């Protein structure tokens, strides 16, 4: 049925990739050590979204010490987020409007489940807890049934300068650099906020190839630099069930299709940059589902960044019938868009 979340029956589990089996063994060993050290399962909740009939619940279950003060103080360095120990297949109670639902975290401790709920449009709160832990409260954005425009934005080098085309610099930014030293792309917060406000507070969803490990860091960064609130759609880190390492491109493609299925009435403004695969992904998605795309906004990297990224696609390579806007920052994109569209 159109507009319902895509929760198709799951196929029988296939044999895990060798790297995934090794990863599971290491996680099991680390989990046993964590329990011996007195650590307990704790839910880290992330912003979710949904319709007036269902909610997509997002979060992660991790082992932590009962006294989390030191952990909270030390979490600003990116590498610490990758030393966390996930709780595999942990049951989690999700309470929505007084109704409790049980969901199960996956092999990476990630909670990503759709549960039925009757909530009013706008920002709402839900509660999540693992066995023996205190409930945590998290926000979910409920999309109004009459919403026809939404915003999907990339993160790396679109809202935050991460220099991902340069592996060594990217590793430094991810694992070492203090989150307070990360640099926002000029004007992008204003652009996304204005796009949302012009549509009566339409949903803004951040889609990134980054791992769930960095979700707290990204959330604090977006809040600190006044980006509009919205769900982060990230991906798991490390081996998957069928390959040595997850595919960031596949994650973005699948997420776009899922959002299109969940909200068929929405035409999305897609925001990205020309230093990775955003142009190709957005172009393919627009060709496949033209009714789901209103316009594409591409932040142009500097000449130096573009060279390190292997160049950029040219504007004339895109087919007609869809608005493509290019500029080096948010102010330029907003000006170009105002000249082309009546939002």
Q: Look-up: residue for tokens 């619940």? A: 57
Identify whether 313 is part of a domain: yes
Domain final position from 142, 167, 198: 142
Identify whether 29 is part of a domain: yes
Identify whether 4 is part of a domain: no
- Whether 118 and 191 map to the same domain: the answer is no
Taking only the tens place, the pLDDT of each residue in 207-237 is: 998 888 888 888 989 999 999 999 999 987 6
C-alpha distances out from residue 295 to 146, 271, 321, Å: 19, 9, 10
Mean per-residue pLDDT for 331-339? Answer: 90
- Whether 64 and 204 map to the same domain: the answer is no
- Whether 251 and 334 map to the same domain: the answer is yes
- Whether 45 and 174 map to the same domain: the answer is no
- Whether 123 and 154 map to the same domain: the answer is no
Sequence-ordered list of residues with C-beta below 8 angstroms from that of 265, at least 6 positions apart, any chain? 3, 145, 147, 148
The pLDDT assigned to 242 comes to 46
Domain final position from 142, 159, 185: 142
205 phi/psi in degrees, rounded to 5:
-120, 130
Report the candidate in 288, 253, 275 with the shortest Cα–Cα distance to residue 326.
275
Q: For residue 77, is pLDDT > 70?
A: no
- Whether 40 and 158 map to the same domain: the answer is no
- Whether 285 and 159 map to the same domain: the answer is yes
Distance CA 209, CA 250 (A): 9
* Domain containing residue 53: 18-142
Identify whether 202 is part of a domain: yes
Residues belonging to the chain: 343
Identify whether 11 is part of a domain: no
Domain final position from 113, 142, 171: 142
Taking only the tens place, the pLDDT of each residue in 233-265 is: 998 765 444 444 567 789 999 999 999 999 999
Look up the CATH number of the domain holding residue 164. Answer: 3.40.50.1000
The pLDDT assigned to 200 comes to 81
Q: Which residue has the higher pLDDT, 135 or 8?
A: 135
Identify whether 7 is part of a domain: no
- Whether 177 and 111 map to the same domain: the answer is no
- Whether 261 and 242 map to the same domain: the answer is yes
Banded model confidence at residue 266, pLDDT cuts 50, 70, 90:
very high
Q: What is the pTM of this model?
A: 0.85
CB-CB neighbours of 332 under 10 Å: 18
Identify whether 206 is part of a domain: yes
The pLDDT assigned to 6 comes to 54
Look up the CATH number of the domain holding residue 93. Answer: 2.60.40.10
- Whether 76 and 182 map to the same domain: the answer is no
Mean per-residue pLDDT for 292-303? Answer: 91
Taking only the tens place, the pLDDT of each residue in 106-165 is: 988 999 999 999 999 999 999 999 988 889 999 999 999 999 999 999 998 899 887 655
Identify whether 8 is part of a domain: no
Distance CA 291, CA 268 (A): 9
Taking only the tens place, the pLDDT of each residue in 280-291 is: 999 999 999 999
- Whether 110 and 234 map to the same domain: the answer is no
The pLDDT assigned to 81 comes to 59
Q: Which residue has the higher pLDDT, 195 or 317?
A: 195
How many structural domains does the chain have? 2
- Whether 294 and 206 map to the same domain: the answer is yes
Q: Which residue has the higher pLDDT, 98 or 31?
A: 98
What average pLDDT is seen over the chain?
82
């Amino acid at each position: 049925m159109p507009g319902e979340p895509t929760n198709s029956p799951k196929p029988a589990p296939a044999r895990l990739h060798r790297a995934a089996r090794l990863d599971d063994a290491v996680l099991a060993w680390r989990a046993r050590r964590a329990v011996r050290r007195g650590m307990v399962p704790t839910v880290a909740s992330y912003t979710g979204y949904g319709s007036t009939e269902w909610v997509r619940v997002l979060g992660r279950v991790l082992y932590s010490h009962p006294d989390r003060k030191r952990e909270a103080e030390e979490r600003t360095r990116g590498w610490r987020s990758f030393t966390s120990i996930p709780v595999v297949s942990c049951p989690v109670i999700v309470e929505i409007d007084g109704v409790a639902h049980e969901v199960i975290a996956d092999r990476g401790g990630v909670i990503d489940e759709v549960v039925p709920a009757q909530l009013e449009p706008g920002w709402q709160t839900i509660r999540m807890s693992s066995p023996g832990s205190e409930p945590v409260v998290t926000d979910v954005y409920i999309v109004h049934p009459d919403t026809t425009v939404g915003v999907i934005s990339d993160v790396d080098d679109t809202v935050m300068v991460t220099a991902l085309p340069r592996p060594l610099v990217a590793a430094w930014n991810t694992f070492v650099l203090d989150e307070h030293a990360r640099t926002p792309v000029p004007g992008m917060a204003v652009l996304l906020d204005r796009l949302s406000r012009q549509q009566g507070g339409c949903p803004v969803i951040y889609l990134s190839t980054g791992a769930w490990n960095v979700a707290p860091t990204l959330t604090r960064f977006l809040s600190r630099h006044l980006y509009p609130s919205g769900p982060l759609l990230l991906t798991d880190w490390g081996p998957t069930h069928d390959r040595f390492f997850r595919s960031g491109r596949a994650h973005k493609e699948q997420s776009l299709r899922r959002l299109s299925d969940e909200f068929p009435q929405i035409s999305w403004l897609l925001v990205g940059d020309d230093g990775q695969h955003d142009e190709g992904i957005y172009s393919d998605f627009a060709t496949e589902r033209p009714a789901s795309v209103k316009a594409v906004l591409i932040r142009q990297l500097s000449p130096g960044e573009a060279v390190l990224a292997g160049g950029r696609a040219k504007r004339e390579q895109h087919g007609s019938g869809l608005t493509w806007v290019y500029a080096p920052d948010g102010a330029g994109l907003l000006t170009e868009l105002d000249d082309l569209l009546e939002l």
